[in-house]
Amino acid sequence: MIQMVGIVLIQIGTQNLLPSMSLCLVVLNLPQISLMEMKKPASEWFLRTFIRFYFKNSYMKYILSFLFVCQLTFAEARYVASDKFFRALAAVESGGSQYPNETLDGRLGPYRISYEYWKEAMSHDDQIGGTFDDCRAEMYSRKVVNAYLNKHVPSAVENKTYEILAKTHKFGPFWKSQPFESDEYWNNFKKHLTSYWF
């Protein structure tokens, strides 16, 4: 049982909750699985087995409920850039104005989001919804920036690597091809970043 929980926790770390649950159910249910059941479609078999054990096995119920909550908590913490980053980003891009005017090249909002930027973010997370014009609003823009950065540099979001986040936002995932411009942008960005405590 301890080994099984260990396997589950490892898979939770790699965001594979469903395989973890399946593995637990298979091992705990091995003595009761018939050949007829195993011939059923995988989705149907898993659903029947999960329902049977979730309601009959109290330990399994608590373990799966706990792991599911952990999964949601850690996923949210990992994929949201910090408020400190967004305040510095707004200061650099639009002087900290909450509702800045549209730029001459069509960029919107406090983070100066372009139409191409918005399309890439939407391709990563279409649950954001809305239209490009919604990027004028700060809270909507944050969702767009989060999706864009998670598409290209998810580890930087998780580790709060502000330099990579800032350069990727401004110059895209290939910012290394513009070393002078990206370094200049970062030098300006970190001045604003250090003015915030959190």
Between 196 and 34, residue with greater pLDDT: 196
Helix or strand or coil: residue 108? Answer: strand
pLDDT at 63: 65
Domain ranges in the chain are 2-78, 83-193
Helix or strand or coil: residue 5? Answer: helix
- How is residue 132 written in tokens? 């490009």
Mean pLDDT value across residues 56-65: 60
Query: pLDDT confidence of 51, banded at 50, 70, 90?
Result: low
Query: Are the CB atoms for 115 and 132 separated by under 8 Å?
Result: yes
Fold of 83-193: Lysozyme (1.10.530)
pLDDT at 29: 46
Mean pLDDT value across residues 58-63: 60
